[in-house]
Amino acid sequence: MPEPKSQFDIGWKAPVSHQKPPGLESDLPVEAAVDQVPTFDGGSQLYKASGKLQGRKALITGGDSGIGRAIAVLYAMEGAEVAIAYLQEEEDDAQTTKKWVEKHGGTCHPIVTNLRYKEECKKTADKALQAMGTINILVNNHATQMMRENILELPEDQWELTFQTNIHPFFYLSKYVLPHMTKGDTIINNASINAYIGRPDLLDYTSTKGAVISFTRGLSNQFVGKGIRVNAVAPGPVWTPLIPSTMNDDAQEGFTAPIGRPGQPSEIATCFVFLASTDSSLISGQTLHPNGGTIVNG
Where do contacts with ligand NAD occur on this chain (CB under 6 A)? 22-23, 61-62, 64-68, 85-87, 90, 113-116, 141-144, 165, 190, 192-193, 235, 237-238, 240-243
For ligand NAD, the closer of residues 164 and 227 by Cβ is 164
Least Å from the CB of residue 28 to ligand NAD: 9
Query: Do 92 and 50 meet the contact criterion of CB atoms below 8 Å apart?
Result: no
- What is the C-alpha to C-alpha distance for residues 160 and 162, in angstroms, rounded to an integer? 5
Q: Of 97 and 284, which has the nearer Cβ to ligand NAD?
A: 97
CA 15 to chain centre: 21
Q: List the strands of the sheet with 108-112, edge to edge.
A: 108-112, 81-86, 57-61, 137-140, 186-190, 229-233, 287-288
Least Å distance, CB 180 to ligand NAD, is 20
Report the nearest approach of ligand NAD to the CB of residue 22 (Å): 5
Angle between helices 168-177 and 118-132 (to 10 degrees): 40
What DSSP designation does 233 have? E
**What separation in angstroms does the CA of 257 have from each of 93, 130, 192?**
27, 41, 13
Nearer Cβ to ligand NAD (115/138)? 115
Sign of the alpha-carbon dihedral angle for 254, 67, 11, 292: positive
233: nearest Cα among 184, 182, 282, 296 = 296
Residue nearest to ligand NAD (CB): 66
In the complex with ligand NAD, which residue's Cβ is closer, 90 or 267? 90
Enumerate helices (H) and strands (E) in the chain, giving the number of each. 10, 9
205 is catalytic: yes
36-56 as b/e: b if 16+ CB within 10 A: bbbeeebebeebebeebbeeb
Compute the least distance from the CB of residue 191 to ligand NAD, in Å.
7
The answer to whether 67 touches 190, Cβ cutoff 8 Å, is yes
Cα separation, 244 vs 246, in Å, equals 6
The CB-of-255 to ligand NAD minimum distance in angstroms stands at 8
Amino acid at 290: P
Select from 70, 14, 10 the least CA-distant residue to 292: 10
**Rounded least distance, CB 114 to ligand NAD, Å:** 5
Nearer to ligand NAD, 155 or 184 (CB): 155
- Rank residues 20 and 226 by Cβ distance to ligand NAD and give the closer one: 20
- The residues assigned a catalytic role are 205
